[in-house]
Chain A
Amino acid sequence: MAEKFDNLEEHLEKFIENIRQLGIIVSDFQPSSQAGLNQKLNFMISGLQDIEKCRLQLNEINVPLEVFEYIDQGRNPQLYTKECLERALARNEQVKGKIDTMTKFKSLLISELSKVFPEDMAKYKAMRAEDPPS
């Protein structure tokens, strides 16, 4: 999979370099540069053809739309990954806290109910022991 990305990256780098050189030619054009300009234009088209071929290999790759917002703002997209991981961990901790609290509450409730309703709670525990979670 990394090879597919490397291939695309290489084509994109060449394409961008070609465009950059095209921009330099155009910025101060001379008649002798016409042949070079034509060549660059055709390189640009062939570059687009190569990138188009790479597209077929990357059909199954999904990119989250939020990353595009980061890029459009001129921010590092790795910050999105970082924030995703931090949010996931924070949410994980939050849910774990809830689970722990609920577990403690359950055991506390059962112990208190057992003090007040010992027979009923014994039946309840027997029932729960009989019927495991379906």
Chain B
Amino acid sequence: MTEMFSTLFGQSDAQGPPGSGALGFGSGKPPPPLPQSQVSLSGQLPPQIGDEGPMLRKPGASNEPFYLLRDLPVGNELTGNSNLITHYNLEHAYNKFCGKKVKEKLSNFLPELPGMIDCPGTQDGSSLRSLIDKPPVCGNSFSPLTGALLTGFRLHTGPLPEQYRLMHIQPPKKKSKHKHKHHRLQDPLPQETPSDSDPKKKKKKRDDDPDRKKKKKDKKKKKNRHSPDHPGLTGSQPNSSSLR
């Protein structure tokens, strides 16, 4: 092992005795100091080079006291030293996503989407990943179905078998900007939807209605007015001190 170390670092150690590996280092001697003439040269700028112009410094070997002195890297204005969120004007986005609590479920992001969307896509084969791994056939044009093709869609009457029924079909909870109340078609068989839709629609209305918030505030004010601690009470309320 000492031989390996000496070959790596101790070229000048060939002068020293080979048996002096007691310390575990090559020769045990420090490398010989530079000759005095070389030191003085390294300390002074040679006049010839100085007359020619600015000193050229080779990036690799150098005759100066500083060996392997490289040029400083190009300074980049944008580093991690500055707040990159502010630099790229993402403060609003940061406050929006990180300031408030973002709900976990996909249905909170897409409340209008019917069906059970919170389940993993791999369960029912509706994952987006499968769309990337096995892309569908594209390029064909979409043409309406003719009478002959529509004969394939003649169905038997009656309800679907249990295994094919879609459970928990949620109607879309429309928060549409353009209120087309008459545009929406009425459901032909409102079997599943009314029971599911009404409480959810009510719930949705509760969340979205700004008037409801105002009403809540008014209610609170009224409650406070009627509370025994309210300073504005007259003798209409029974005196609390009289209660035993």
Contact = CB atoms under 8 A, between A and B. Distances in A.
Interface of A: 13, 16-17, 20-21, 23-31, 33-34, 36-38, 41-42, 45-46, 48-49, 52, 65, 68-69, 71-79, 81-82, 85-86, 88-89, 91-92, 94-96, 98-100, 119-120, 123-124, 127-128, 130-134
Given A72-B121, A76-B109, A41 B150 contact: yes
Contacts of A49: 142
Interface of B: 43, 54-55, 57, 65-66, 69, 71-75, 79-81, 83-85, 90, 93-94, 97-98, 102-106, 108-109, 112-114, 117-122, 127-129, 132, 142-145, 150, 153-160, 165-166, 169, 171-172, 174, 176, 184-185, 187-193
B172 A29 contact: no
A48 B159 CA distance: 28
Given A27-B165, A85-B98, A133-B75, 9 more contacts: A21-B187, A24-B190, A25-B188, A28-B158, A52-B142, A68-B132, A92-B85, A131-B57, A133-B72
A82 B102 contact: yes
B192 to A, nearest CB: 8
A17 B172 contact: yes
Contacts of B190: 24
A42 B169 contact: no
B108 A76 contact: yes
Contact of B79 (A24, A95, A130): A95
Contacts of B108: 76
Contacts of B114: 16, 20
A46 B106 CA distance: 28
A92 B78 CA distance: 11
Residue with the highest number of chain B CB atoms closer than 10 Å, among A24, A33, A127: A24
A114 B83 CA distance: 33
A65 B185 CA distance: 37
A41 to B, nearest CB: 6
B56 to A, nearest CB: 11
B81 A82 contact: no
Contact of B129 (A33, A34, A48, A72): A72
B160 A46 contact: no
B159 A27 contact: yes
The main secondary structure of chain B at its interface with chain A is loop
A23 B128 CA distance: 22
Contact of A85 (B93, B156, B185): B93
Contacts of A65: 132
Contacts of A72: 120-122, 127-129
Given A34-B154, A96-B81, A23 B166 contact: yes
A14 B174 CA distance: 11
Contacts of A131: 57, 71-72
A23 B98 CA distance: 39
A46 to B, nearest CB: 7
A98 B128 contact: no
A73 to B, nearest CB: 6
Contacts of B193: 24
Given A33-B188, A41-B145, A45-B144, A13 B120 contact: no
B185 A21 contact: yes
A27 B106 contact: no
B71 A133 contact: yes
A133 B80 contact: no
A67 to B, nearest CB: 9
B188 A82 contact: no
